[in-house]
Amino acid sequence: MEKIIGFCNLHDDPHLGQLTTKRPCGVVSFLGRYGLMDFTLSNFSNSHIDRIYVLVKNSVLSVRSHIGNGAIWTNNTRRGFVNLLLNEDGLFNPKFNTDLANLKANFSIDYVDFDYAVIAPSFMLASIDYRPIIAAHEKSGADVTIVYKHINNADEEFHNCDRLKIGADNKVTKIDTNLGRTSEADISLESFIISKKVLRKIVNDVSKVSELFSLREMIKYYVGEEALDVRAYEFEGYVIPMLSLEGYFKHSLDLLNVQNRNKLFSEDWPIYTTTHNTPPALYGRNADVRNSFIANGSIIKGKVENCIISRDVVIEKGAVVKNAILFTRSEIGKDVKVINALIDKGARVSGVNALEGKDGEVLYIKQGAKI
């Protein structure tokens, strides 16, 4: 059996507006319970990839506290692990802080015993079984396999993502950017399968091509130069791209719809996350909750509609919260109205009558703010 390692790559993740000023995209709270990177880590775990490295670009402490000892994603806790790799030099040199620089600094390709590496970002949410993809990669004899999704709403979604042109035998002949001009497109999910030998080559080549290039850009370069055999593998499941604050907000609330939810989650593909030992959610006498996710530890005494309520949130009596995402430990005081808003971790809204994002805009209340 092939020896596989997984890299959860946080270097190339997009900014989700103010959500990611102090934390990487991968640990942004999702559905009140997860961090975005839980999907990638759980995909590895469910695909029986037991040696996992997280390529951390910055804010290592928030990644560290989310991962803990990594045991929840690990099958055998002696042989398996979730290790964090941080390129410290990159912190002083942000332009050069790429995934490949991180690999070069922290990962001894020759020392680690593996046949193939799976490298995946945290912002493309999906339940992906990598085992058939690795098998197809091996069978094709390709140097690199890119997992992609064929979409017919490229004019609305996946903007600025890599778009593949695929020829005979699934060969990738061109990679450009989805500018939203067409509706049909094959979008790279930025998940790559690479053999040990090819990964070594890419890490070595980068200093000859450009030290600024990320793995994704190097692969694009090889395709342009026809220097590597790059193939595409179509993923037919559901994918949610987290590319902006607005997209994050919309896609999260879309999952209140059970049909969408069932596309992302499946019973035989659990998404693991860290436990916080919170008690069950408590609903008061006047609680009025409709179409919402409620995480454990919350105390709901007011009205909640079309919302995602995270752990340990308090919603007081008389409060009305609609179309909103509330992060961990936030509090909405008595008789306060909150509509179209994203309330970040630990923020408390009590001294005002109403907070409302107007005209489809999401009102963002920053972490720890007291209003």
Partner 1 sequence: MKHKVVAMILAGGKGTRLESLTKKTSKPAVSFAAKYRIIDFPLSNCANSGIGVVGVLTQYESTALDAYIGNGEKWGLNGVHCLMTSLAPRQTEQGANWYKGTADAIAQNIDFIDESNPEFVVILSGDHIYKCSYNEMIELHEKTGADATISVIEVDPAEASRFGIMAVNKTDRIVEFQEKPKVPKSNLASMGVYVFSWPVLRKYLIADMKDPKSEHDFGKNIIPNMLNDGKKLQAYRFKGYWRDVGTLASLHEANMDIALDKMELNLYERDANNRIYTEDTYSVPQYVGKRGSITRSIATQGASILGDCDSCVISNGVVIEAGAKCTRAVIMENAIVKKGAVVHNVIIAPGVVIPEDAKINVGGDEVVLIGK
Binding site for partner 1 (CB under 8 A): 31-33, 72, 256, 258, 261, 265, 270-273, 275, 277-297, 299, 308, 312
- Closer residue to partner 1 (CB): 62 or 306: 306
Question: What residue type is assigned to position 267 of the chain?
Answer: E
User: What are the angstrom distances between the C-alpha of 10 and each of 51, 86, 206?
Assistant: 17, 10, 19
Q: How far is the CB of 370 from partner 1 (least distance, A)?
A: 17
- 306 touches 290 (CB < 8 A): yes
User: Residue 240 is inside which H or E element, if any?
Assistant: strand 240-241
- Closer residue to partner 1 (CB): 11 or 33: 33
- Closer residue to partner 1 (CB): 39 or 158: 39
* Alpha-carbon torsion (218, 222, 227, 232), positive or negative: positive
Query: What burial letters (b/e) apply to 128-155, b meaning 16+ CB within 10 Å?
Result: bebeebbebbeebebbbbbbbbebeebb
- Closer residue to partner 1 (CB): 5 or 314: 314
Q: How far is the CB of 276 from partner 1 (least distance, A)?
A: 8
- Closer residue to partner 1 (CB): 108 or 275: 275
What would the two tokens of residue 359 be? 């005209």
- 143 touches 193 (CB < 8 A): no
- 38 touches 147 (CB < 8 A): no
DSSP 114: -
- 198 touches 228 (CB < 8 A): yes
- Closer residue to partner 1 (CB): 1 or 258: 258
Whose structure tokens read 């008690």? 279
- 36 touches 28 (CB < 8 A): yes
- Closer residue to partner 1 (CB): 32 or 121: 32
Q: How far is the CB of 313 from partner 1 (least distance, A)?
A: 12
Cα of first residue to Cα of last residue in the chain, in angstroms, is: 57
What would the two tokens of residue 130 be? 């990598």
- Closer residue to partner 1 (CB): 17 or 318: 318
Whose structure tokens read 């990962």? 107
Q: How far is the CB of 335 from partner 1 (least distance, A)?
A: 19
Q: How far is the CB of 188 from partner 1 (least distance, A)?
A: 28
Gyration radius (Cα) of the chain, Å: 21
Q: How far is the CB of 28 from partner 1 (least distance, A)?
A: 16
The set of residues, in sequence order, having a beta carbon less than 8 Å from that of 121 and lying 6+ positions away, is: 8, 9, 10, 12, 13, 40, 190, 191
Q: How far is the CB of 279 from partner 1 (least distance, A)?
A: 4
Q: How far is the CB of 39 from partner 1 (least distance, A)?
A: 12
- Closer residue to partner 1 (CB): 21 or 69: 69
Q: How far is the CB of 359 from partner 1 (least distance, A)?
A: 25
Q: How far is the CB of 16 from partner 1 (least distance, A)?
A: 20
- Closer residue to partner 1 (CB): 57 or 311: 311
How many residues are recorded in the chain?
371
β-pairing verdict for 230-234 and 144-151: parallel
Whose structure tokens read 């670009």? 57
